[in-house]
């Protein structure tokens, strides 16, 4: 029987350049164009997210599903999962997405029987492996959904009931096995309910220690079974819990350092999570890059007015250019890629909508990457920023940086020197550089 085609009116998406009027073409994303020494495709390592694109039905707390998927019709879990994989790989290849990401329960429905779940994931990962071999698309990262099942309502690794912690461990073991089989570059932990709703009923210190123990055991298992990739923690401050322990990049770094996990873990940063934490994505990326922890990105955007995770597709070129400046200067993502953790709107119901969304996102990143590279090579950006710190490159400033001046030495210098000059920070000058190169 020949395989069904799910996006039959949609052709292969190609690069046509900025003069193209074709909405189903790339205007900026030219995968083989070399930027800063390597093809765009290698800097960006784009991935499609299984959960939003092939499972997200458009349902919201006020209404029923609006996205009716032709791959979700069969009665058996196995039949639906294979149809979904066929649709996903058709989509990924048509869009030239080299990677994908999934949670265990996105790939195939789970039930309450752990042994049966292991069997199901093995079965579908065999099928996904076959699809990978046929298409050349590979797994960017795998993960386990430890937040949707009702048993996780009080947390997974941080649940006060040990029997839930063990269930979570089983799910992680199976998801790691699938990630290894599919040659995944990474494995993500997003602690959707690893936090609290009320501090009154929570022993925070104990829960965090449990989370660290869980991560150590998961890492040891994966390494012992041949996983060579990177583990990622994905920070998010809240939602669904009131407070999540992996609040933001800086908090996660402190946690990883405290529990001796820095060698194996990096950060997977998400735009909308950054803004929920009261930061910009640029801030989160810079914190990670400064600590050699910039692992992977979940690409999306929030809404300027709404205070929740709207997971819209990225389209803000200014923001992305600033992000690509950090990415290029840090030498690139450590072990990860750019995963579109974004969903089309509930009322975007044409099959083309999913393509428009990804084309827009990929083009926005590509354009930002080119602009950032030009800024670094052609503009005064780097020199102007370095100039602000020139007083530390020689003399007393250098001695201070090298730890050679005591507090009393500094005091003597202060007493013997004139009032510092008024030196402009020139923020607007810097902002104009960004706009000039977009
Ligand atoms: C939720 C979120 C997750 C993680 C993977 O906000 O971002 O989809 O990326 O569990
Ligand atoms: Co995410």
Averaged over successive runs of 10 residues, the pLDDT of the chain (438 residues) comes to 85 98 98 98 98 97 96 97 98 98 98 97 98 98 98 98 98 98 98 97 98 98 98 98 98 98 98 98 98 98 91 98 98 98 97 98 98 98 98 98 98 98 98 98
**Strand ranges for 314-393 from DSSP E:** 338-340
> Does the beta carbon of 246 sit less than 6 angstroms from any atom of ligand 1?
no
> Does the beta carbon of 190 sit less than 6 angstroms from any atom of ligand 1?
yes
Q: Give the pairing type, strands 138-143 and 186-189.
A: parallel
Q: Residue 52 catalytic? A: no
Identify which of 38, 101, 78 has the alpha carbon closest to the alpha carbon of residue 336: 101
| Residues paired with residue 60 on neighbouring β-strands, in sequence order | 63
Ligand nearest to the CA of 144: 1
User: What is the predicted pLDDT for the residue at 3?
Assistant: 78
Please tell me the distance from the alpha carbon of residue 395 to that of residue 378, in angstroms, as a whole number: 30
Name the CATH architecture for the domain at 37-379.
Alpha-Beta Barrel (3.20)
> Does the beta carbon of 234 sit less than 6 angstroms from any atom of ligand 1?
yes
> Does the beta carbon of 298 sit less than 6 angstroms from any atom of ligand 1?
yes
Domain spans, the chain? 37-379, 382-437
198: which DSSP letter? -
User: What is the predicted pLDDT for the residue at 173?
Assistant: 98
Cα–Cα separations (whole angstroms), residue 330 to 53, 323, 325, 366: 30, 11, 9, 17
Q: For the chain, first and last CA: distance in Å? A: 49
| Residues paired with residue 266 on neighbouring β-strands, in sequence order | 232
Report, in angstroms and rounded to the nearest whole number, the Rg of the chain calculated over CA atoms.
24
Please tell me the distance from the alpha carbon of residue 378 to that of residue 7, in angstroms, as a whole number: 42
Nearest residue (by CA) to ligand 1, atom 4, is 190
Ligand nearest to the CA of 299: 2
User: What is the predicted pLDDT for the residue at 2?
Assistant: 65
Q: What is the atom index within ligand 1 of the atom nearest the CA of 192?
A: 1
- Point out the catalytic residue in the list 30, 106, 246, 373: 106
User: What is the predicted pLDDT for the residue at 77?
Assistant: 97
Q: Residue 106 catalytic? A: yes
Ligand 2 centroid to 271 CA: how many Å?
9
User: What is the predicted pLDDT for the residue at 107?
Assistant: 98
- Point out the catalytic residue in the list 103, 273, 283, 358: 103
> Does the beta carbon of 236 sit less than 6 angstroms from any atom of ligand 1?
yes
């Amino acid at each position: 029987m020949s395989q069904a085609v799910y996006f039959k009116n949609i052709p292969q998406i190609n690069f046509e350049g900025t003069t193209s009027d074709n909405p189903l073409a790339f205007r900026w994303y030219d995968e083989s164009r070399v930027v800063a020494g390597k093809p765009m495709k290698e800097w960006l390592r784009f991935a499609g997210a299984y959960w939003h694109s092939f499972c997200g039905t458009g349902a919201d707390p006020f209404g029923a599903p609006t996205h009716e998927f032709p791959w979700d019709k069969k009665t058996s879990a196995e039949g639906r999962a294979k149809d979904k994989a066929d649709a996903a790989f058709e989509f990924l290849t048509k869009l030239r997405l080299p990677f994908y990401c999934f949670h265990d329960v996105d790939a195939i429905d789970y039930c309450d029987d752990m042994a049966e779940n292991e069997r199901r994931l093995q079965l579908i990962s065999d099928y996904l492996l076959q699809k990978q071999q046929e298409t050349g698309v590979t797994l960017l990262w795998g993960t386990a959904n430890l937040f949707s099942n009702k048993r996780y309502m009080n947390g997974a690794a941080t649940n006060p009931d040990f029997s839930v912690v063990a269930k979570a461990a089983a799910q992680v073991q199976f998801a790691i096995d699938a990630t290894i089989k599919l040659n995944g570059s990474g494995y993500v932990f997003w602690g959707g309910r690893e936090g609290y709703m009320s501090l009154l009923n929570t022993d925070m210190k104990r829960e965090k220690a449990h989370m660290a123990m869980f991560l150590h055991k998961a890492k040891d298992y994966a390494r012992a079974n041949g996983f060579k990739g990177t583990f990622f923690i994905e920070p998010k401050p809240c939602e669904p819990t009131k407070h999540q322990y992996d609040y933001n990049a800086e908090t996660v770094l402190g946690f990883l350092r405290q529990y001796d996990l820095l060698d194996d873990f990096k950060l997977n940063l998400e735009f909308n999570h950054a803004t929920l934490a009261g930061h910009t994505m640029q801030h989160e990326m810079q914190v990670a890059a400064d600590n050699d922890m910039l692992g992977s990105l979940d690409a999306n955007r929030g809404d300027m007015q709404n205070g929740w995770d709207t997971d819209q597709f990225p389209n803000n070129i200014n923001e992305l250019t600033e992000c690509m400046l950090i990415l290029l200067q840090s030498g690139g993502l450590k072990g990860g890629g750019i995963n579109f953790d974004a969903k089309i709107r509930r009322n975007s119901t044409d099959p083309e909508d999913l393509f428009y969304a990804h084309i827009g996102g990929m083009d926005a990143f590509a354009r930002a990457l080119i602009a950032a590279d030009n800024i670094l090579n052609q503009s005064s950006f780097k020199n102007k920023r370095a100039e602000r710190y020139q007083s530390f490159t020689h003399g007393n400033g250098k001695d201070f940086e090298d730890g050679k001046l005591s507090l009393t030495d500094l005091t003597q210098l202060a007493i013997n020197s004139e009032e510092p000059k008024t030196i402009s920070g020139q923020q607007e000058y810097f902002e104009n550089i960004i706009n000039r190169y977009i």
